[in-house]
Amino acid sequence: MTTSRASIGNTRNPETHSAVLDAAEALLTEKGYAGVSMEAVARRAGAGKPTLYRWWPSKAALLMEVYERRKAEALAELPAGASAREDMAAMLESIMCFWRDTPAGQAFRSIVAEAQADPAALRMLRDEMLARGRASAAAMLRRAAEAGEIGPNPDTELMLDALFGMAWYRLLTHRLRRAPDEVPRLVAAIFLGAQPGGPFCLPG
């Protein structure tokens, strides 16, 4: 376990790097958000606190890397389905399964919590982490518009707020378990609202 893992010289030690992320993830799953402190992570990882602060300026930054590491290996790529609507449903469903079935859900809950106390963390969450997902989801909606699945000028912002909002709300209230077909039905309803003349259609 606690193999002596000293400096390997002039370079960042990748073992230390992953040991810290592993320790943070383990504490997160075992004790939840309250159990994760920089001090506890350092203890558990067999690392020094200065090492943590050298690479992660805040707890939020550490949690985000824990999350992103999981995400990279889990949500590699979703195959394109028959329609943008199905793609959207598959994406939302896979995010919610990812949150429910891996430590990433607890990590993301913690990141959102941290963002309520730390303005810099909020900006990073909103303008970097979320922006990526929203951009790819918005691209799906534009493809849907081009394919005629929905009207030509959908209010993508509002539609995404409803879709991601539902997922956040479920995550943060610990209600991620879904009835079958819930997500496809929600997506269908949002797409229905974006049919020509519908409430999600913008003029112009």
Partner DNA sequence: GACGTAACGGAACGGACCGTATAGACAAAC
Partner DNA sequence: GTTTGTCTATACGGTCCGTTCCGTTACGTC
Binding site for a second copy (CB under 8 A): 32-34, 109-110, 112-119, 122, 125-126, 130, 155, 158, 161-162, 164-170, 172-175, 179, 182, 184-186, 188-190, 192-194, 198-200
Q: Is residue 50 at the binding interface for DNA, with CB under 7 A as the rule?
A: yes
- Which structure tokens are listed for 172? 């943060």
Side chain identity at residue 144, one-letter code: A
Q: Is residue 120 at the binding interface for DNA, with CB under 7 A as the rule?
A: no
Contacting residues for 105 by C-beta, under 8 A, at least 6 apart? 98, 99, 171, 176
Give me the least distance between CB of 110 and DNA, in Å please.
12
Q: Which does 8 bind (CB under 5 to 8 A by kind): a second copy, DNA, none?
A: DNA
Residue 201 bridge partners (DSSP): 154
* Span near DNA by CB under 7 A; candidates 53-61, 121-129, 146-154, 163-171: 53-61
Which CB sits closer to a second copy, 103 or 193? 193
Side chain identity at residue 186, one-letter code: L
Residue with tokens 């974006």: 194
Total of chain residues touching DNA, rule CB under 7 A: 28
For residue 4, CA distances in Å to 11, 12, 24, 27, 50 come to 17, 16, 19, 21, 17
